[in-house]
Structure 1
């Protein structure tokens, strides 16, 4: 090669080097290498069908996103947006519970990944469960005075709810709300169902196998009537009923208006009177007519019977210890007659007889219109109120009246 050609090649190589240097300089100044952070990159859920086959539900997170930091030329980075970056998680093989799932990313070839976060996402999986729950009726409003509700009839009585385990478990009550304002006739309505948690709030996100139920609630009129005690059997001869108390002595009953009009009292079921001896009180049942019930079915009816044994008491007197009434002023009783003895036997309940003493009896002999002479007179007990005089022995006494 000639020297001239060698010089020409050298110049070309040198020019190329200069051009590369200049290009590198220009690129470093005009299109330099740099980093760029891209936020809110949506994460694709791969193999979601594996989750669904296990009847699992993703509770958290609902919309997972990550942040990526890239390195590359400014022009390349400027063209890249969040949709150009593929972030994904593989959900196959996981069961119920909380688990960290690694994030995989893919970026365009002209840039490199410096870092991304989070590198793992905490997923919470819950089982999709079904539960059978009874429907309860809740009323709003007030009935007119003198009316009361009967037991509601609900069709269907229960419903199936379905959803994530924690949501289904949070349902404490299934409620059908019925407005009873001013109702005087039976209520027959179709109403929606509400799912209620422990705090009384509506539970969202749980599905029902049906949203409506039919509710029938009978409306009854109230009537207050007296209670009549029915007693069977007889007391022994030496016992007596001194008092009867029924507590309460009136009761509120409910029924249809036409049925209540026929009822003026409610009888108890028969009570054997001998079962009440030595008992202070007894709970009795009511003999309710057909189609009639108590407003308060738990109310107890208590019967108290005071049953006492009849006893006798004997007091001894002399004629001189009792009152001589209507004796003429010019007459007197022979002194020897005043010592004549007699007895008085009284009978009654123990509570009345026991407190009575001899001095408590008011006994007298009536001498009205008698003149001087001998007579037979009969002592009389004047204050026999809480007892009876069973016997006076002897029944009559002989006396002699003398002029003074």
Structure 2
């Protein structure tokens, strides 16, 4: 009888297994959850920083529903280990696997997978450079003036950061406005690191971030052409008289500050004496250069005074003849 009913018994066993599986699945079914979590880096070499090509990844956990539901997002830790990278290079870049860590009590009952499974990691050395501060001006100075040399304190800054960023810096500059010239004590300006194209270099630290700047305004020399006005003293011997005079050159160009030149329209000479002269007088005479100016060219002019003999009155001629 037993031998003849084995088929029914096998069928009954299979039904029992199916029922057990179904009941067990209903009581504790399978489940799956996906978390988006940040990825950290560990074992970074001293004096280096590291960066991944993605800051977050997707982590999927699967298993019994009770175990899956017990996992919170904060329990999932994703990291990339950089201990295998060489420590003697300034820049290293390679693909490394992503590791997932969960609390040990629940990790054993779960299937864990990451997407992507690998990330591109870049480890780079940190460095620092001392750079002299230079000044640039927002606008041109007013007409007739120029900016003096800015007094900057401190004269340089220490810039630190990744070596590739430091290599881009060509100068550290402060931008100065003309209004600063009216401030006797100066003002603080931000120091900005720039590359050779004038673009700001990001991701570096500048110490100090600001520098005190004092700026002066210098009045630029101007030029003005003025006439030469000779100075005479004495008179020719009677009856000789001055017919005319000439000055060569008749005008000169002076250089000086605009405020000084504005009040000058002529330039005088040293005194030319005509006392007792009976004929034409020719003198090379120095100019009396006004204070705060200088002539462009020679400091002397030639003055020619044409003197005619004149004629004595008749009675004086008769007496002279006697």
TM-score by length of 1: 0.47
- Asked if 1:71 corresponds to 2:37, the answer is no
SS in structure 2 of the partner of residue 177 of structure 1: strand
Aligned residue in 1 for 2:220: 222
2:293 is matched with which residue: 264, 270, 278?
264
Q: 1:165-213 CA distances to partner (integer Å, 9 max, x unpaired)?
A: 2322333331212221495787733322122345544333311221222
SS in structure 2 of the partner of residue 265 of structure 1: strand
Distance, in Å, in 1 between the alignment partners of 2:180 and 2:38 is 57
Task: Report the count of equivalent residues.
Answer: 229
Aligned residue in 1 for 2:24: 27
Deviation of 1:56 after TM superposition, in Å, equals: 1.0
SS in structure 1 of the partner of residue 166 of structure 2: helix
Distance, in Å, in 2 between the alignment partners of 1:43 and 1:78 is 22
Q: 1:119-168 CA distances to partner (integer Å, 9 max, x unpaired)?
A: 22211122212122221112224544322222223233222211112322
Aligned residue in 1 for 2:49: 57
Distance, in Å, in 2 between the alignment partners of 1:44 and 1:188 is 46
- Higher RCO (CA < 8 A, seq sep 6+): 2
Distance, in Å, in 1 between the alignment partners of 2:197 and 2:217 is 30
Q: Is the 8 A contact 1:220 1:254 kept in 2?
A: no
Q: Is the 8 A contact 1:137 1:178 kept in 2?
A: yes
* 1:184-333 correspondence to structure 2 within 5 Å: 188-198=186-196, 200-225=198-223, 262-266=291-295
* 1:4-403 correspondence to structure 2 within 5 Å: 22-34=19-31, 36-48=32-44, 51=45, 53=46, 55-61=47-53, 64-94=55-85, 95=87, 96-107=91-102, 108-113=107-112, 115-181=113-179, 183=181, 188-198=186-196, 200-225=198-223, 262-266=291-295
Q: Is the 8 A contact 1:226 1:266 kept in 2?
A: no
Distance, in Å, in 2 between the alignment partners of 1:216 and 1:46 is 48
Stretches of structure 2 lacking an aligned partner (at least 5 in a row): 1-11, 226-247, 262-288, 300-322
Q: 1:67-109 CA distances to partner (integer Å, 9 max, x unpaired)?
A: 2333322333233333333433222242422122222224522
Q: Is the 8 A contact 1:130 1:160 kept in 2?
A: yes
Closer, same or farther in 2 for the Cα pair 1:21/1:60, shift >3 Å? Answer: closer
The RMSD of aligned alpha carbons is: 4.0
Q: Which has the larger radius of gyration?
A: 1
Stretches of structure 1 lacking an aligned partner (at least 5 in a row): 1-14, 228-243, 271-404
TM-score by length of 2: 0.57
